[in-house]
Structure formats: C-alpha cells, structure tokens
Structure 1
Amino acid sequence: MTPTLVSQDDIRTAFSEAMSTMYRQEVPQYATLLELVADINRRTLIADTDLAERLAAGSETERLGVERHGAIRVGTAEELATLKRVFALMGMFPVGYYDLSQAGVPVHSTAFRPVDEAALARNPFRVFTSLLRLELIEDDDLRRQAASILAQRDIFTPGAWELIALGERQGGLDRDQAERFVAEILETFRWHQDATVDHDTYQALHDAHRLIADVVCFRGPHINHLTPRTLDIDAAQAAMPDYGIAPKAVIEGPPPRRCPILLRQTSFKALEESVRFAELAEGRHTARFGEIEQRGVALTPEGRERYDTLLAHARELPKAPDNATHQRQLGEVFASLPDDYDTLRREGLAYFRYAVTERGRERLAAQESHPRDVDSLIDQGWIAATPITYEDFLPVSAAGIFQSNLGDTQHQAYASESNRSAFELALGRPVLDEFALYAELETDSLDRVRQQLGL
C-alpha cells in the first residue's frame, strides 16, 4: 500500500516549531526575546496602518509570528551534504554562497530555505549553514588533529539515517515517519554539555579561533541561535534592557529607513555555559545566543552593487562609540540611496510583486480600456506593486554577529581566496542564485497581471 505523504511545508513547520520549543528550554532568554518581538510587532502594526496593509497584500502577516531563522556550523563535507538531504525533505534548498573568511571567521556558508512563493508564505524557515574551513588553521599539526577529531563523529542518529534514506526512496514521509524524522533530526541540533576532547585540545583549538573549538570539540553542531523577525529593530534594540537582555553594541546591516532594505540584525550576547571535557575537567564555553532581525525589500544586482559600495564607504569611517552614532553615520552615507519604493522600483534597484487591484478588477469587469505599460497601470490604479521581502543574508552582518558573540574580538581577514567551488563540491550541488529567485517571483507576478488584463 502506498503511504500517504505529508507535505514538505508541514514537515518544515513541525521542525521549526520543535526547534523553537527546544531552544526555549535550553536558552530561557530566547523565550523572553519572543515576548519582546511579539509586543513590538503588535504595537508597530497598530501604529503603522500602511505597513499593516502592505504586509497583508504580500501575504506576510500570517507568516510573521512563525518566522524564524537558525544557524548551525558543521565540520566536514559529509556533514554538510547530509544536511542538504535532510533539508530537502523539508522543502529547503541551498541559496547563495557566503565567504565569511574575508571578515575573519574561518567558515563559508549557504542558507537552506524554501524558494517558491507558496512555501515562503506558509513558513519561510531558514537555516544559515556554515562549513569550517580547516585549511585556514595555520598550524599543520592542529589542522590534522582537528580533521581527525571530526572524522570520528557522526552527528546524526541511526534513526535519522534510516528516515533520510526512507524519505528519499518514497519521495517524502507519511505522518508517523515525519514525526519520528523531526524528533531524530532535532538531536543533531541539540546542545551537548560533554566535549569530545580534553581541555588542552579544546584550548589549542580555541586559541586558533573560538569558532573552530565550537565546531570541532562537541559530538554535534548544536543550533547556535534562533531568530524571530521584528518590524522595528530599533525599538527592539532599545527595549532589550527593559526585558533583562543585554544587546550587542550595534545593529548590523543598513541604517534605519522609511523603506527598509535587505536585512538588519541584532542579538543578545552569547551565554557562558559549563562544559565537561574528556578527562572530566569542568570548563566554560561560549557559543549560543539570541538574535532579532528586521527584513526589508530585496535589491536587484544594481541595487545591491550600490548598497555594497556605500557599505564599503561606511566601513572606512572611525568606529562609532555607540549604536546611535553608528546609525547616524550610516544614514549619512546611505542618503544617496532612494528611500521610497516607487523610485526603487522605477530605477530597477529592488524587486516587487505585481497584482491587479480591486479597483482594477472592477474596471476590467466594466470593460474599461487600460494602458499597456506597467508604470501607467500603477499610476492609474489598475495594478499595485508590493516589495518582495529579502529572504537571505549579508556576509558582513553575519560575520559581525558571529564576532560580537565570540568575545567581541576583531579577527583579521584570512589570507585566502573565496572558495565557492570547494563549498559546492562538499555540498554536492551548486547553490541557487538568490537574484534569479527574486527575479522569477517578480516575473511570475507580472505574467499573471498581463494574463488577467489581456496584455
């Protein structure tokens, strides 16, 4: 009898909910963070009716409360390739390549996430997944030792391996299998207090880079943060101390804008947690933290080029003493980037989703004539353009979050070339191009509009 398979969206939602429950138990401040974000979002939607209408038009209101991204770091090509198989069963695929070594973090990464419109609307769960670049460990003996340690571990349970293979053979999982799959995969992301190495080995890897110790020295990679989405990250940053949470010094990403772009992130500082080493010595380890993000419109390649150029100018400025000064300096640098959606759209700097308005449908039913070009259709109220939300990440911001939660130590960029080909070889497939995905969403919406209007 052929099993009745549940949708990948259902599995992804069940896993993200289970992860959130687990992380809430492991890191109680995460639960406080969710309360803060829910309160900020509720007040923001009441105060800004235009934003509320825009989110509703883009089918984003429903997803806001469930939206999360997590981050995990693995040590070997096999671990990365197996996670690819795990996430595929949840309808999540590798999008984008991020080289964090240029910012002093010895990893390169991708983001596993849903890619089609319906799946994103259902649950846009993302996992920023990093692979340790062992070749960046300068000490030959330490590099070989790290590789040997990683080769001896299996970060997946026997049940996980069985269900991954079963899901691939069947083309999915039935309800009972999906429940077991979520429970088994959750073990890979769970915190384990016991290190797999002695204290001296841990310290040597820690001295090379804290993140290297975090990846290598434990039996599993453990989720290192979960991130809810806020509609006002400046309000969230200001409110964190009132909730007993110490925020990082500055918000990462672009400055505050009337029309948010890309991604802004902040976090509370990583917890110091007790660990037990192989010789049973007690110690402390810093890895896991809580993060908040605010997402804006996705930029086109032209828009992203302008953003990156402005960001490079901003990074040449003296370090600001506080977040307010930092945001003011950023705002001055970014003043030349248009801050209204109409200009961003007309100049081809951002992606938009197009739809026939209610008024347009009424006029169409009345057989009124309409213009044929998009700008005139918008100007005359036949169609509307809503911003397409940026679903991905920013390498400089990701590195800034990692660094601030690894002791605020600023590491020099590693003297190496970006190695996308090696990452994709380890992954076992090319990563998807985020720009192509946004362009497809925009084009599909325009095609629907043209079909409805008979163009």
Structure 2
Amino acid sequence: MESKTERECWDSNALRNNFVVALSDMYQEEVPLYSTLVDIVRQVDQAKIGSGQLPRRHELERHGAIRLGTGREMNCIRRLFAVLGMHPVGYYDLSVMGLPLHATAFRPIDESCLESNPFRVFATLLRVDELPFEIRDLVETVLYQRDIFPPRLLQTLTRLEAGERLLDQDAIDLIADALEVFRWHSRSPTSLVQYKSMHSAHPIIADIVCFPSAHINHLTPRTLDIDMVQAEMIKHGLPAKARIEGPPRRNCPILLRQTSFQALQEDVEFRGPDGAFIPYTHTARFGEIEQRGAALTRKGRRLYDDLLALARQRIGDAPEGSPESETAFAEAFAGFPDTWSELRAQDLVYFKYTLVPGSEAVMAGRKAMSMADLVSQGVLSYEPITYEDFLPFSAVGIFMSNVKTESNGSSTRTHETGPGAKSSLEEVLGCRILDEFDLYRSMQRRSIDDCRRVLGLEQIVKS
C-alpha cells in the first residue's frame, strides 16, 4: 500500500490504485492462469514499444466483471465504488441477447482520474421479477438470506458519506473488507438440488445466486496488440477463444476488442439432503484480455452497429473464427474509414485537441477560425480519445463461448427495455446513470475551449 502519514486523509485515486493492486494479487492466487495472462500481455507490450516506457495507466489498467442478485447489492456496490472515484456510466440491457440481466459500468469520469487509474467494473443485476415462475421463489429466498457486504465496510461507507475523513487504518480496513465482497468461495450455502434447478434454467442464474459473494468472474489486463496476445495464448497452450470479439484489426483501432481463455471447471461443494457437503463442479470464471481503441461519436456508433449487423447477416451459420466468418467481418467493416483524418472529417471519432507549440503567431488579429483551417495550418494537433466503456455484444459473445447453456430455451421471458428499464436500474442505484457519449463530447469540447482561450479566439467554427 502507498505510504502516507499517519493522520493523512486518503483520496479516491490512491484508494483505487491500492484496491486494484490488492484485487489483482487476490485474483492471481485464486486463478493462477490470470498471472500467465498478465505475463503474456507484458511481453507483447514490451515487444511493441521496444526500449520505450509503457505508460503507468497501462501497467495498472484492469477491468473486472461482477454479477449481483438484488437491488440492495447493486446500491451498496455503487456506494463502495463512489469512494473509489468510480461512477455508473452507460446502461446495458442484456435481456435483448437472452440473458436475464441489465447492467452499468462503474469507472472514473475525470481525465486526471482516468490517467491515474482507469479501473472499470461491469456490474450486472439479475432481473428477479422477470425470471420463470418455477424458480423465482427459490431465487428470492436464497438471495434475501445472504449478505455479501461485511458490516464494518457498510459502517465505513456510512461514515464517509456523512463527511468523515478516511485515515490510514480506515483505508487499510476498507480495502480488506472490499476484497471480501469479490472473493471466490468454493463452498455454497445452497443445496445441490437448488443449484441444479437454477443451473438448468440458466447457468448465469446459478452463478449469481448460489455463492456467498459477488466473485470476480474475470479481471482483464489491457494490451497494445491483442492479435499478438491471441497468438501467444495459443502458443502457451491456453484454450483461447476462436475469434477476437469486436471490430476487425484496423490501422486506427476503435472501441474495444476482447479475447479470452475458456472458463475453468472448479471444485465446489453444495449441501446434500443430510446437511453434509457434496463435492461438485462449477464453471464460470475465465481469463480475458482487451485492446482499447478510439471512442466513437453517436454517428460513428450507428455506422459501427450497422456494419456489425451486416457482418452477422453475411456470416449466417459459418462457424466462429472460420475463414468465411473472418472474411465477412473484414468485408463489412471496409465501409468504416480507417485514417484518423477521415474519421475526424466525418465526425466518427471523438478527439482531444492540443496547441502546437509556437503556432500562436498564425492567429494574429483573428477573432474566429474554422477547426479545419486550424488543423491544416498546423496550429492544432489531435489524438483520439480512448474508449473507456463496454460492448455488450462482445461481452455476451465471450460469456456464451465460456459457459455451456443447459437451459431448455424457456428460462427467460421478454424483458422491459428502453427508458423504463434504465430508470428502474437508476432507482436501484439511487443516482443517475451517466451517458458515455456526453462524457466523451465534453472531453473533446473542453480541449477545444482550452485551445481557443490560449489562442485568443472568440470562436472556433466547426467545419
């Protein structure tokens, strides 16, 4: 843990940094193959940068995923992540892909916090009221008998929300208690019969309900080249996914690309009819790696979604990862521009603008200029803003490739979608879910305004 004076108050960045390191250490002990993934990523990234220095955020950067069963659990997670400087961003309705879940992602939102450590957690909530009637009562009974949050952690959160300062021992206790929320437990409080009943409805229901924590089901490092990582995973004998989820390989990376190794079959114990524990197995946790690209504008995202639908239509029944499917993806996404200049000109990607040193002289006496002229005349440079969020189709693609579904197809009903569903999750959270497009647009706008003020312009005209 970072050293601090005995009576010094901790800020959210320091807490988040220390929590991520502690969580990574814990997960490495629980899933040794995670350590192998981290080593592979480090080797690939070092090969990409040569003698250069990898940015600190890349060394620390992780995203995790957890699954929660009740609104209270989601609300408490929101309170914990708020202390770590992480806020709910984006609404994801996974029911449209056959999963009885909806979700949000907790992450930092300020640029300085993202640079310090952009830790993200994709948190899904089970939609209990939409489950089949035959298992709903069982699920509710089990969920409302458990409490995955240590009492001391909840007491600490209440004190912090009341305005108390977090001192050294408090920080140590908070991180230790928070780890317990995400720790894996191989012994279930449910019976084997109950587990099988929920698992037959859908494996994800059993994974959420039958264990006494919101165990991390994957902790994901970020790489500079996911294609190289995929090749190295196969070389190391890891059971890698057949294809990388997300857009095809491009000169200008966009959004998010992910790959994984197959879920582990883990030894667990469930209660038998006589109360004694019975050995069994459970499959849920897996290893994942990601490569992040540029954040798309709303216009860019519509184009991406249209091309993705076109690719899926062309693929048809072709096996995942087959030459036919890869060709279909490549041909469909040929319709997405692949130079930064064209992506900027067509307003498909969000960019951060900076002043080129020594270029102020160009502006003598001017009150307004177009963005196109400022860029073409070398006054402003630009770089893409990193996509900090998630792609539900990619997430579900990885999940479905890692967990064999034994449901009979009737495990989920039609769920509420749209604004009403989002509002219901916001009510559970006790706060508004932020819109990721608004955040990226604000980052771009701030960079333009900063440049405008330095240049003494009254206006930078969009063109």
Q: TM-score range by the shorter chain?
A: over 0.9
Unaligned segments of structure 2, at least 5 residues: 1-5, 458-463
Secondary structure in 2 matching 1:164: helix
Q: CA deviation at 1:286?
A: 0.6
Judge conservation of contact 2:63–2:122 (CA < 8 Å) in 1: yes
Within the candidate set 270, 276, 279, 2:269 is matched to 276
1:12 Cα offset (Å): 0.6
Identity %: 45
**1:81 counterpart residue number:** 75
Amino acid at match of 2:104: T
Question: One-letter code of the match for 2:251?
Answer: R
1:67-216 residue pairs with structure 2 within 5 A?
Answer: 67-138=61-132, 140-170=133-163, 172-216=165-209
Name which of structure 1's ranges 404-413 and 97-106 shifts more when overlaid on structure 2.
404-413
2:400 to 403, 422, 426: 403
**1:248 partner letter:** K
Which range moves more in the overlay, 127-136 or 81-90?
127-136
* 2:8 paired residue number: 4
Deviations 1:262-290 (A, max 9, x none): 01111111100011112301100011111
Cα distance in 2 for partners of 1:339, 1:409 equals 41
Question: 1:251-266 alignment to 2 at 5 Å?
Answer: 251-266=244-259
The CA distance in 1 between the partners of 2:359 and 2:206, in whole Å, is 64
Cα deviation for residue 312 of structure 1 reads 1.3
1:453: which partner in 2? 455
Q: In the alignment, what sits opposite 2:358?
A: 362
Deviation at 1:368, TM superposition (A): 6.0
Is 1:318 aligned with 2:316? yes
Kept in 1, the 8 Å contact 2:91–2:104? The answer is yes
Q: Distance in 2 between matches of 1:424 and 1:445?
A: 30
Q: In the alignment, which residue of structure 2 is the partner of 1:20?
A: 24
Deviation at 1:244, TM superposition (A): 2.9
Give the alignment of 1:220-239 within 5 angstroms.
Answer: 220-239=213-232
Change in 2 beyond 3 A, CA 1:425/1:367: closer
Question: What is the root-mean-square deviation of aligned Cα atoms in Å?
Answer: 2.1
Aligned pairs for 1:302-451 (under 5 A) are 302-316=299-313, 317-323=315-321, 325=323, 326-357=325-356, 361-364=357-360, 372-407=369-404, 414-418=413-417, 419-451=421-453
Q: Which residue of 1 aligns with 2:461?
A: none
Whichever residue aligns with residue 318 of structure 1, its letter is G
The count of corresponding residues between Structure 1 and Structure 2 is: 440
- Counterpart Cα distance in 2 of 1:260 and 1:201: 45
**Aligned-pair CA distance for 1:367:** 7.8
Aligned-partner SS, 2:230 = helix
Shift of 1:321: 3.1
Verify the 8 A CA contact 1:36 1:243 in the aligned structure 2.
Answer: no
Query: Match of 2:217, as an amino acid?
Result: N
Q: Offset of 1:252 from its aligned partner?
A: 0.9
Paired AA for residue 244 in structure 1: G
Show structure 1 runs of 5+ residues with no match: none
Q: Which amino acid aligns with 2:50?
A: I
Residue deviations 1:397-439 (CA, integer Å, cap 9, x gap): 1111211121277979852232222212211222100000000
Moved more, 118-127 or 392-401: 392-401
Q: Report the TM-score, using the length of structure 1 for normalisation.
A: 0.92
Alignment-mate amino acid for residue 334 of structure 2: A
Task: After superposition, give the CA deviation of every residue in 1:364-413 in whole Å (9 maximum; x if it has no partner).
Answer: 37986778222111112211110000000011111112111212779798
| 311-320 vs 103-112, which moves further | 311-320
> Shift of the alpha carbon at 1:61?
2.4
Which of 38, 41, 47 in structure 2 is aligned with 1:37?
41
**What amino acid maps onto 1:362 in structure 2?**
G
Residues 137 and 208, structure 1, Cα contact 8 Å, conserved in 2: no
Task: Tell me the SS of whatever aligns to 2:232.
Answer: helix
> Any idea what SS the aligned residue of 2:271 has?
coil
CA distance in 1, matches of 2:254, 2:165: 36
